[in-house]
Amino acid sequence: MTKLSQFVKQRRKSLGLTQEDLSFKAGVGLRFVRDLEQGKRSLRMDKVNQLLALFGHELGPVESERIED
């Protein structure tokens, strides 16, 4: 699970929403919510932002940890 998928799942549950409720409120498909919460690696950024807007968040650049040989 990714940080994003964990964030969305935890926030959804804390608000007492089902995946179906969240998909309806965000205007995205139920399959999209399920894919996001399961950590699917390729998702449309506009749809992710559409969903995150419900929580007052948006995607942004985050420094990653790189292991160099």
pLDDT digits (tens, 9 = 90+) for 3-24: 999 999 999 999 999 999 999 9
The amino acid sitting at 9 is K
At 20-62, the pLDDT tens digits run 999 999 999 999 999 999 999 999 999 999 999 999 999 999 8
CATH number for the domain harbouring residue 20: 1.10.260.40
Angle between helices 30-37 and 45-52 (to 10 degrees): 90
Q: Is residue 67 part of a domain?
A: no
Name residues whose C-beta falls within 8 Å of residue 22's C-beta, 6 or more positions apart in sequence: 8, 12, 33, 51, 54
Give me the domain span that covers residue 27.
Answer: 3-55
Q: Is residue 66 part of a domain?
A: no
More confident residue, 36 or 68: 36
Name residues whose C-beta falls within 8 Å of residue 56's C-beta, 6 or more positions apart in sequence: none
If we measure between CA atoms, which residue out of 7, 1, 3, 2 comes closest to residue 52? Answer: 7
